[in-house]
Amino acid sequence: MNNPLRHGWRLLTISTTLRRYRLDQLVNISSWFRPLIWLIPGRRDNRSLARGQRLRLALQELGPVFVKFGQVLSTRRDLLPSDIADELAKLQDAVAPFPGTQARAIIEAELQQDIDDVFLNFEEQPLASASIAQVHAAELKDGKSVVVKVVRPAIEQSISRDVALLKTLARLAQRYHPEGRRIRPVDVVQEFETYIFDELDMQREAANASLLRRYHQNSRDVYIPEVYWSYCKQRVLVMERVYGIPIKDKPALVKHGVNLERLAIRCVRLFYTQVFRDNLFHADMHPGNILVAKDNPDDPQVIALDFGIVASLSNKDLYYIGENFLAIFSQQYRRVAELHVEAGWVPADTRLDEMEASIRTVCESSFTRPLSEISFGEMLMKLFQAARRFKLTIQPQLIMLQKTLLNIEGLGRDLYPDLDLWAVAKPELESIVRSKRSPVATFKAIRKRLPLLLERTPDMPELIHRTLKKAAAGELTTQLQHPALEQLPENLRQLRRSITGGVLAGSLLICGTVLLVHPVGPDIFDLPILSLASWLGAVVAFLTTR
């Protein structure tokens, strides 16, 4: 998929879409680049549409990867104007559906039997349609109401194409951007690729749902629908159909008498429980994926949907994130700086006093506000921004954690604006940490590892003897290895290609500009063909410098 011509054509398609929907008016395009947008062929229509609608339609047209991007943006109402956030929220469950006959064909191909032999009733009109799949109501032969989730046809090719383009752009950014190695765009794209391709596998989603259901069995906080494994394949998922009020429909919640304060607190507590107690959290908890049970409005239960993105952290990441949270809660800024060094997120030679001062500046400005206005997720974002001057290395594996925290906090505040996130989160995390570090928990951890330790114990005396014998004979050697040394020849070859490609791209760029001012030959879209060809050649030359 790393075809430069294909990438160049896709970039042209994206640029044309930007121009057609007039999105150059919504983003801060550099003054030198803005004229180039208008050199791209394409009609200047859609002027009468609202700006949010134009953005939503453009993202839908560009495909699943861009729809996912819009979904992430829709959860950041603290950063977006309300009209744009409202339109992008429609991407969560209002993407144009594909025909029900196609869904029926996919189900029959996956289950290898006629759909009427599986379901007593199957509704071809979907209940909801998203960027990756759409959901249909059905009834099993035993009368159980279910939903059938079907992956969109031919979506793999579309996603692979755009992810390949993102990878190319990420490699260029990592090589040429001054902070590319610290930001690690290649790792970020790879992390995104993992998550989005995981969403295409319905059996993985079924496993995620089953495990979360086991962790929250009989929970008053959250309900996870049952999975019917007999009907789950790679492109088809069949789950229990659940009923409730969409959590984004605040007027309906109020009308039903739902206690919004308790609901908001429950959502925030659920995040900390899933991350720090279970180390398995629903990483796509936007409002379109949450219902509220109707049976007990004064003590409302959350119903979670869509388990395509479920994440966990390594024990090391979980420890350092938890300790950072606790240190910030307790306003121990020196400890936060020390944890960043211990975790390897900043270099070991970082001046702790300077970093402590930067952290204090960020946190104290937040603590001066009323507790009900403090967002822990926003504070973490500001902390990472402040740590950039200390060469903070971005941790791609923590991106989903940060995104989920911001989603949940935004959801809680939207439900109950006076929610004191600090009062909810601090005791919840402290309770979980105390429980995990209790003597009982320590004993259980030792007991779990004891069989392996006992199995290895008989070999220890011999290993110690061999090591001491080699040391006495002067046979112990130390071998130094570093990935950068192994990559040095390849880096030099890439540098040569970059210089050659850069010179060629620059030459074609100048050539295209000259031909634009002094046109030669036939035109297309009122622009010289040779000028457009030079511009496209510059793009291809630039992309091939990998």
Q: Active-site residue numbers?
A: 284
3-state secondary structure 273-298: HHHHHHCCEECCCCHHHEEECCCCCC
The 3-state DSSP composition of the chain as helix, strand, coil percent (nearest 5) reads: 60, 10, 30
- To 5 degrees, how large is the angle CA 50–CA 525–CA 4? 85
48 within 8 A of 41, measured Cβ to Cβ:
no
d(CA 192, CA 400): 9
d(CA 492, CA 494): 5
Does the CA dihedral 9-12-18-24 come out positive or negative? Answer: positive
| DSSP-assigned states of every residue in 140-173 | ETTS-EEEEEEEPTTHHHHHHHHHHHHHHHHHHH
Question: Between helices 352-367 and 376-386, what is the axis angle to 10°?
Answer: 150
- To 5 degrees, how large is the angle CA 55–CA 377–CA 197? 55
d(CA 11, CA 40): 11
Q: Residue 227 carries which DSSP code?
A: B
Distance of CA 265 to the CA centre of its chain: 24
* Six token digits for residue 495: 């540098």
95 within 8 A of 133, measured Cβ to Cβ:
no
Q: Where are the beta strands (DSSP E) in 49-107?
A: none
Buried (b) or exposed (e) across 401-417, using 16+ Cβ within 10 A?
A: bebbbbbbbbbbbbbbe
Residues in the chain: 546
Task: Look up tokens 């960020």; give the residue.
Answer: 362
